């Protein structure tokens, strides 16, 4: 199963869970020739239990190395911050570790972990956060104490906050220098409008952040209810239970997670052009997509692999746009499901003089998949590729623990991985074509282009003469200053 290898995902540890239906006796018969080892593979799982405070624990002993490792996963992230709180969740997530904890200043915390050759890290993104640790088994008592301090008693040092703010502000000011970041932020803003899913922080947002904002977000999100702790390595269950009792037994509370807003309006189709003095054009085109776990998610995943998410080898976008026509430095595409609504996108990085051709040819590949079923051998190759890569999700105890936590945190069916490969193998050419028609609609496409004057002129002339799938779309220029101004 592919794990959110999508352009727009920045969730740091898991939300990385990619959602990769009908069954066909014909396909199941042709799949008889597939290797059977992977389909018979049963993913291992850690032992799972829940503490009285609501914290779920997932544990698996592994004595191969004298190491202990784990992570505490929290539901909730920047999607739940208000418009006047931009950046507060990310700042809090970083400052949990970087801002010192318990009786230790940031410098003392760094020094103590260095002495132990141990690591503790923290972050929060759109949907969730995580604090993780790793250490030698002989140092687990000392490191688990630090780990608990980072979670329960962060200091949120003011100097460290100012340093984070300064670095973040510098990064925001430099956005305009990175056309890939400009096109990404612009597309997200247009696709999701004023909802939390497409917002971008500005310098003003970051300047307004205070230590009190971080404390408030910590109080909202860092709670044991609905959180998941994974622990693996050379540690017994008895020892782990002692540590949990000592450090987390008095921890109480539920995270504050009100319902997220629905997305009821489609973005206005058109070509949104941002002029920058660059030598190549960056293009993102697409539309709003589907929520997670629609009934056709296996077919969507197989479609993505064939269409444009697999990169080298199997992707039609790559084979046609880059290899055959030489129109793009990079090209990518697929349908990513989302918490409320996902995104269907195609991304092309091309020369200014070929921006119109590269865009149209990419759209034409989608049209081909809407009108013609993929050959059975092409689908089987993709099915084999997905099947063969599946086992790498469980290559280590750490990976299987993180994956088990991910599935639970995102409210996926507990047997999601057990049923995934059979569902992928049941995908048919007809269901791939159905995804192309049911989930993609060219008339709803938003196309964002970041390029120079030449790229703009190419598109303008193309719309006048032989626009192809661009017919009916308006071409308008917009300014970008930290975010898209429109």
Q: How far apart are CA 379 and CA 387, in angstroms?
A: 12
48, containing H or E segment: strand 47-50
Do 201 and 148 sit in the same domain of this protein? yes
Query: Which residue, among 74, 132, 176, 24, has the nearest Cα to 485 in the 3D structure?
Result: 176
Exposure string of 98-126, with b = 16+ CB inside 10 Å and e = fewer, is: bbbbbebbbeebeebbeebebebbbbbbb
Looking at 189, 222, 248, the residue that finishes a domain is 248
3-state secondary structure 155-187: CCCHHHHHHHHHHHHHHHHCHHHCHHHHHHHHH
Do 195 and 335 sit in the same domain of this protein? no
Query: Which residue, among 325, 314, 312, 303, has the nearest Cα to 438 in the 3D structure?
Result: 303
pLDDT per residue as tens digits for the range 39-60: 567 888 999 999 999 999 999 9
Answer yes or no: are the C-beta atoms of 10 and 125 closer than 8 Å. Answer: yes
Give the pLDDT of residue 391: 87
Q: How many CA atoms lie within 13 A of 418 on its CB side?
A: 8
Do 219 and 120 sit in the same domain of this protein? yes
CB neighbours of residue 146 within 10 Å:
22
Which whole number is the average pLDDT over 198-224?
97
* Residue whose token pair is 């784990």: 70
Q: How far apart are CA 148 and CA 1, in angstroms?
A: 33
For 90, phi then psi, to 5°, come to -65, -40
Structural domain of 274: 25-31+266-485
Give the pLDDT of residue 41: 72
Do 225 and 305 sit in the same domain of this protein? no
Q: How far apart are CA 330 and CA 349, in angstroms?
A: 5
Residue 370 lies in a domain: yes
Looking at 216, 248, 280, the residue that finishes a domain is 248
Residue 9 lies in a domain: no
Q: What angle do CA 203, 452, 5 make, to 5 degrees?
A: 65
Give the pLDDT of residue 217: 97
Give the pLDDT of residue 175: 98
Domain with residue 292: its CATH number is 3.30.830.10
Query: Which residue, among 7, 38, 34, has the nearest Cα to 394 in the 3D structure?
Result: 38
Give the pLDDT of residue 329: 86
Q: What angle do CA 54, 60, 61 make, to 5 degrees?
A: 135
Q: 144: pLDDT confidence band, cut at 50, 70 and 90?
A: very high
Do 79 and 152 sit in the same domain of this protein? yes
Terminus-to-terminus CA distance in the chain, angstroms?
38
Which whole number is the average pLDDT over 330-354?
96
Answer yes or no: are the C-beta atoms of 328 and 355 closer than 8 Å. Answer: no
| Whole-number Cα distances in Å, 347 to 121, 190, 236, 447, 449 | 32, 15, 48, 10, 10
pLDDT per residue as tens digits for the range 170-184: 999 999 999 999 999
Give the pLDDT of residue 7: 35
Residue 304 lies in a domain: yes
Q: How far apart are CA 161 and CA 159, in angstroms?
A: 5
Answer yes or no: are the C-beta atoms of 151 and 72 closer than 8 Å. Answer: yes
Do 182 and 313 sit in the same domain of this protein? no
Average pLDDT in the chain: 91
pLDDT per residue as tens digits for the range 1-40: 333 333 333 333 333 333 222 222 223 233 333 444 445 6
Give the pLDDT of residue 311: 57
Residue 284 has pLDDT above 50, yes or no: yes
Q: How far apart are CA 14 and CA 3, in angstroms?
A: 8
Query: DSSP string of 79-101?
Result: GGS-GGGTTHHHHHHHHHHHT-B
Answer yes or no: are the C-beta atoms of 12 and 123 closer than 8 Å. Answer: yes
Which whole number is the average pLDDT over 451-464?
98
Query: Which residue, among 452, 404, 415, has the nearest Cα to 45 in the 3D structure?
Result: 404
Give the pLDDT of residue 404: 97
Determine whether 32 is exposed, middle or buried from the number of CB atoms within 10 Å of its CB (0-12, 13-18, 19+). Answer: exposed
Give the pLDDT of residue 6: 36
Do 106 and 238 sit in the same domain of this protein? yes
Do 170 and 286 sit in the same domain of this protein? no
Distance of CA 115 to the CA centre of its chain: 34
Answer yes or no: are the C-beta atoms of 5 and 361 closer than 8 Å. Answer: no
Looking at 201, 221, 248, the residue that finishes a domain is 248
Give the pLDDT of residue 40: 67
Answer yes or no: are the C-beta atoms of 231 and 57 closer than 8 Å. Answer: yes
121 forms beta bridges with: 132
Residue 112 lies in a domain: yes
Q: How far apart are CA 354 and CA 451, in angstroms?
A: 11
Give the pLDDT of residue 42: 80
Do 241 and 319 sit in the same domain of this protein? no
Do 207 and 286 sit in the same domain of this protein? no
Answer yes or no: are the C-beta atoms of 388 and 1 closer than 8 Å. Answer: no
* Residue whose token pair is 């092309």: 348
Q: How many domains does the chain have?
A: 2
Residue 123 lies in a domain: yes
Answer yes or no: are the C-beta atoms of 164 and 156 closer than 8 Å. Answer: no
Residue 15 lies in a domain: no
262, containing H or E segment: none
Query: Which residue, among 121, 156, 124, 123, has the nearest Cα to 135 in the 3D structure?
Result: 121
Q: How far apart are CA 86 and CA 78, in angstroms?
A: 8
pLDDT per residue as tens digits for the range 92-127: 999 999 999 999 999 999 999 999 999 999 999 999
Do 349 and 462 sit in the same domain of this protein? yes
Q: How far apart are CA 421 and CA 34, in angstroms?
A: 12
Give the pLDDT of residue 344: 98
Residue 5 lies in a domain: no
Residue 148 lies in a domain: yes
Q: How far apart are CA 17 and CA 398, in angstroms?
A: 15
Do 202 and 275 sit in the same domain of this protein? no
Query: Which residue, among 440, 334, 445, 322, has the nearest Cα to 382 in the 3D structure?
Result: 334
């Amino acid at each position: 199963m592919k794990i959110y290898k999508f352009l727009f995902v920045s969730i740091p540890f898991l939300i990385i869970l990619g959602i990769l239906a009908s069954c066909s006796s014909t396909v199941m018969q042709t799949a008889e020739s597939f290797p059977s080892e992977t389909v018979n593979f049963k993913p291992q799982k850690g032992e799972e239990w829940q503490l009285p405070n609501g914290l779920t624990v997932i544990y698996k002993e592994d004595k191969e190395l004298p190491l202990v490792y784990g992570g505490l996963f929290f539901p909730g992230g920047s999607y739940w911050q208000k418009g006047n709180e931009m950046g507060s969740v990310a700042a809090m997530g970083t400052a949990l570790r970087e801002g010192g904890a318990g009786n230790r200043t940031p410098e003392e915390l760094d020094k103590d972990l260095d002495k132990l050759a141990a690591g503790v890290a923290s972050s929060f993104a759109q949907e969730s956060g995580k604090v993780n640790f790793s250490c030698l088994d002989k140092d687990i008592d000392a490191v688990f104490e630090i780990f608990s301090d980072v979670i329960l008693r962060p200091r949120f040092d003011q100097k460290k906050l100012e340093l984070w703010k300064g670095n973040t502000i510098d990064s925001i000011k430099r956005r305009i220098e990175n056309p890939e970041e400009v096109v990404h932020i612009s597309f997200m803003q247009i696709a999701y409008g004023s909802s939390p899913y497409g917002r971008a922080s500005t310098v003003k947002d970051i300047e307004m952040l205070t230590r009190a904002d971080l404390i408030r977000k910590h109080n909202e999100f860092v709670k044991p209810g609905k959180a998941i702790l994974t622990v693996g390595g050379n540690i017994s269950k008895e020892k782990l239970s002692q540590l949990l009792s000592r450090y987390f037994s008095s921890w109480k509370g539920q995270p504050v997670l009100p319902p997220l807003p629905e997305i009821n309006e489609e973005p206005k189709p058109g070509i949104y052009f941002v002029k920058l003095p660059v030598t190549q054009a960056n293009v993102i085109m697409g539309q709003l997509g589907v929520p997670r776990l629609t009934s056709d998610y296996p077919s969507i995943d197989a479609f993505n692999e064939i269409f444009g998410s697999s990169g080298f080898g199997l992707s039609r976008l790559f084979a046609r746009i880059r290899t055959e026509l030489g129109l793009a430095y990079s090209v990518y595409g697929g349908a990513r499901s989302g918490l409320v609504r996902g995104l269907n996108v195609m991304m092309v990085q091309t020369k200014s003089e070929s921006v119109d051709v590269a865009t149209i040819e990419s759209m034409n590949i989608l049209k081909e998949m809407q009108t013609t079923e993929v050959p059975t051998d092409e689908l089987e190759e993709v099915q084999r590729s997905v099947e063969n890569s599946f086992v790498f999700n469980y290559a280590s105890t750490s990976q299987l623990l993180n994956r088990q936590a991910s599935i639970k945190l995102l409210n996926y069916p507990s047997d999601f991985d057990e049923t995934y490969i059979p569902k992928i193998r049941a995908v048919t050419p007809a269901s791939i074509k159905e995804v192309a028609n049911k989930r993609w609609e060219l008339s709803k496409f938003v196309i964002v282009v970041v390029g120079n004057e030449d790229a703009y002129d190419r598109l303008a002339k193309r719309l006048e003469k032989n626009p192809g799938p661009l017919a009916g779309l308006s071409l308008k220029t917009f300014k970008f200053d930290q975010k898209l101004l429109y």
